[in-house]
């Protein structure tokens, strides 16, 4: 977990974030006995697995005096606070107070809707998930050999980085890709979807919530799947992940080679984007007709529901 450990951020009560799925950490970082703390959404969460192996994501702050529960321990499948050893179960209820005091009804920690997908553990910023965890167009997870990676901490606003997904001009100008752009993009309540095709090349992209862009490319007979996502740590920083996937090929070596090639391609795209994104002073400036999909995306973002994390 060292790679994503950052200085704890204390609650800023007036902070709101999009009511969507956000990546918390890599699946590989949470084993059966792990208790992990992650700073995100201006607060802190804990992540661990319950007895059935399901990933549980809860507020990290103990309702007694506010100790950081990630500093505690897993005891009999529960989380024990490091300070006075109150214990909490996977529903967030306090199950034990060592002094024998009656357990107050308010002695609960908030349990986020959570999911495991594409090599990542996700939480939904809300009391119930308003829609499904981000999808990758054109494939189910079972159909792919895929692997997720932490890209790092970035300071550019997530909304701007995500706009890359429908910024078709920059694919040609910044990345030098020979692409076309769709006539239309389908804008729904919680996602944006588009398809582009020409001889020998197709692109099928989906923006989910305001955290994730995933796409399926076909090029020269290859099927390439990728997902880019990030979660705010606080107002100034976000933690960025990406996933690469290829169809299962029945041979570990062939899959390894295809994944390595795709990862190289994705890391090149990210390395080209980041110097621009990290240095720009964003404004909705002078848009032209070719920016219509971008303009629609910015309206989608501005209308997307926001809320403070329930667990702060
Ligand atoms: S602060 Fe957690 S038990 Fe007291
Ligand atoms: Fe890009």
As a three-state string, the secondary structure of 26-58 is EHHHCCCCCCEEEEECCEEEEEEECCCCCEEEE
Ligand nearest to the CA of 242: 2
φ/ψ bin of 64: left (φ > 0), alpha (ψ from -120 to 50), beta (otherwise): alpha
> pLDDT (tens digit, 9 = 90+) per residue, 275-305?
999 999 888 778 899 999 999 999 999 999 9
Which parts of the chain register pLDDT below 50? 1-13
CA distance 268 to 245: 16
Q: Which pLDDT value is given to residue 283?
A: 80
Our answer on whether the CB atom of 83 is closer than 6 Å to any ligand 1 atom is yes
Return the ligand 1 atom nearest residue 69 CA: 2
Residue 86 Cα to ligand 1 middle (Å): 6
65 lines ligand 1 (CB under 6 A): yes
Q: Note the pLDDT of residue 5.
A: 38
What is the distance in A from the centroid of ligand 2 to the CA of 164? 5
Ligand 2 geometric centre to CA of 49 (Å):
35
Name the residues around ion ligand 2, CB cutoff 5 A.
164, 273
- Domain spanning 141-306, CATH class: alpha beta
Q: What is the pLDDT of residue 4?
A: 40
Regarding the beta carbon of 287 and ligand 1, being less than 6 Å apart is answered no
Kindly calculate the radius of gyration of the chain based on its CA atoms and give it in whole angstroms: 21
CATH for the stretch 17-124: 2.102.10.10
Q: What is the pTM of this model?
A: 0.94
pLDDT at 249: 85
pLDDT score, position 2: 40
CA distance 239 to 241: 7
Q: Is 106 helix (H, G, I), strand (E, B) or coil?
A: coil
Given this model, what pLDDT does residue 79 score?
A: 98
Domain ranges of the chain: 17-124, 141-306
Task: Characterize the bridge pairing of strands 17-18 and 306-307.
Answer: antiparallel
The answer to whether 212 touches 131, Cβ cutoff 8 Å, is no
Report the percent of the chain where pLDDT is more than 70.
95
Pairing relation of β-strands 78-80 and 73-75? antiparallel
For the Cβ of 64 lying below 6 angstroms from any atom of ligand 1, the answer is yes
pLDDT at 213: 98
Residue nearest ligand 1's atom 4 by CA: 84
pLDDT value at residue 197: 87
Q: What is the DSSP letter of 250?
A: S
Which atom of ligand 1 sits closest to the CA of residue 67?
A: 1
Predicted pLDDT at 11: 36
């Amino acid at each position: 977990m060292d790679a994503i450990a950052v200085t704890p951020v204390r609650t800023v009560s007036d902070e709101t974030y999009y009511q969507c799925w956000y990546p918390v950490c890599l699946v590989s970082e949470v084993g059966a006995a792990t208790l992990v703390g992650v700073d995100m959404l201006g607060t802190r969460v804990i992540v661990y697995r319950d007895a059935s192996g399901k990933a549980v994501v809860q507020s990290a702050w103990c309702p007694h005096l506010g100790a950081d529960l990630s500093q505690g321990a897993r005891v009999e499948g529960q989380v024990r606070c490091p300070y006075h050893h109150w214990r909490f179960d996977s529903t967030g209820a306090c199950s034990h107070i060592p002094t024998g005091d009656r357990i107050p009804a308010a002695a609960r920690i908030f349990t986020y809707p959570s999911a495991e997908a594409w090599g990542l553990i996700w939480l939904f910023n809300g009391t119930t998930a308003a829609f499904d965890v981000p999808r990758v167009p054109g494939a189910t997870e079972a159909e792919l050999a895929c692997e997720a990676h932490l890209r790092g901490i970035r300071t550019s606003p997530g909304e701007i980085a995500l706009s890359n997904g429908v910024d078709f001009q920059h694919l040609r100008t910044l990345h030098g890709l020979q692409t076309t752009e769709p006539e239309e993009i389908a804008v729904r309540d919680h996602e944006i979807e588009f398809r582009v095709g020409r001889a020998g090349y197709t692109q099928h992209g989906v923006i989910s919530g305001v955290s994730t862009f995933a796409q399926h490319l076909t090029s020269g007979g290859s099927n390439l799947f990728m997902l880019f996502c990030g979660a705010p740590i606080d107002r100034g920083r976000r933690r960025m992940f990406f996933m690469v996937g290829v169809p299962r090929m029945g041979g570990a070596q062939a899959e390894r080679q295809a994944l390595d090639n795709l990862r190289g391609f994705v890391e090149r795209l990210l390395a080209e984007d980041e110097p621009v994104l990290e240095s720009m002073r964003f404004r909705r400036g002078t848009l032209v007709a070719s920016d219509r999909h971008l303009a629609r995306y910015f309206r989608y973002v501005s209308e997307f529901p926001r809320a403070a994390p329930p667990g702060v």
